[in-house]
Structure 1
Amino acid sequence: MAKRQATEIKGQAGRVLEQDLNRELSNMQVLYVKLHNYHWFVKGTHFFSLHEKFEELYNNTKTYIDDYAEQMLAIQVKPLATMKEYLANATIEEASGTEEEEEMVETLAADLQAVSNQLLEMVDGLEEQNALSLADAVQDIARDYQKEGWMLRSYLGRD
């Protein structure tokens, strides 16, 4: 069966949902840049494994961002599209470029869990607006970020 997709979100609930959607798009964009930072600047005994993992994560995040923004457009929600807007709306912080490898992994695990939780909080609203394809995509991203966060915590011996 084909997925149903709303043509637009409506009303006050739709306006709140639009803000939430852009907040999470902003989080993913900040995360994408942070992952590049970590990929480029990781040093230490785990360089090879972390360098590769950070690249995998930023490639996945790139795919999520594109699909997510296109699905926003499909329901007539204008995605933010500047770094200034992303930084103003994100709830996660960008990297400083000075983190040690363990701090990178800790921060990233916490960021992935936070973004996952916030994405999942939007699912009911998306379903109420009949934006089912976007609700499915949001759940898939949240699931993947939860798993990656768990893997990073396990890497640190904390799960």
Structure 2
Amino acid sequence: MAKRQATEIKGQAGRVLEQDLNRELANMQVLYVKVLNYHWFIKGSHFFSLHEKFEELYNKTKDYIDDYAEQMLAIQVKPLATMKDYLANATIEEASGSEEEQEMVETLVADLQYVSNQLLELVDNLEDQKALSLADAVQDMARDYQKDGWMLRSYLGKD
């Protein structure tokens, strides 16, 4: 009986996938801190509803980050693990700390759409490398972020 080994990404495609996985980990870390920032600094007539939504979103993102990084380790990919690396690799921007309520929501709509699209682009590459568990998790994360983006767009009165 042949011994089964853990999935391991290989070759040039594997190296590119490793960079892509870490870029999206960095994006999720920046998104997490951004939403936490918004949760702390939200002001205005929609404070209660947005404060609660932002808390839901940062908790979800924190859980996604942990699962994602652990699944990276399962396929023998070392996840980034410093703020310096996250900021150097992320393709979304940090919160400035001075955003108003409307700008917070608009920025999150754009970031959630961007991150969900980037995650979906990873799925085929993960499947090609036989990292099926991570591919499924990434697809679920993307779908959930798309739903959050839709809810926030609806809050803004945009479809």
- Interval of TM-score (by shorter of Structure 1 and Structure 2): over 0.9
Residue 5 to residue 153, structure 1, CA distance change in 2 (3 Å): farther
**Equivalent residues, number:** 156
Give the distance between the partners of 2:132 and 2:5, measured in 1 at CA.
6
Q: Contact 1:24–1:119 (CA<8 Å) still a contact in 2?
A: yes
Q: Contact 1:112–1:149 (CA<8 Å) still a contact in 2?
A: yes
Give the distance between the partners of 1:119 and 1:36, measured in 2 at CA.
21
Q: Contact 1:6–1:129 (CA<8 Å) still a contact in 2?
A: no
Give the residue type in structure 2 aligned to 1:15: R
Structure 2 gaps, min length 5: none
Deviations 1:19-44 (A, max 9, x none): 00000000000000001100000000
Structure 1 gaps, min length 5: none
| Percentage of pairs with the same residue | 88
Asked if residue 62 in structure 1 is aligned to residue 66 in structure 2, the reply is: no
> Which residue is equivalent to 1:146?
146
RMSD: 1.2
1:7 Cα offset (Å): 2.1
> Which residue is equivalent to 1:30?
30
Give the distance between the partners of 2:151 and 2:118, measured in 1 at CA.
19
Deviations 1:51-100 (A, max 9, x none): 00000000000110000000000000000000000001001000000000
Of structures 1 and 2, the one with the larger relative CO (CA 8 A, separation 6+) is 1
3-state SS, counterpart of residue 94 of structure 2 = coil
Moved over 6 A (4+): none
3-state SS, counterpart of residue 97 of structure 2 = coil
Give the distance between the partners of 1:81 and 1:143, measured in 2 at CA.
25
> Which residue is equivalent to 1:123?
123
> Which residue is equivalent to 2:78?
78
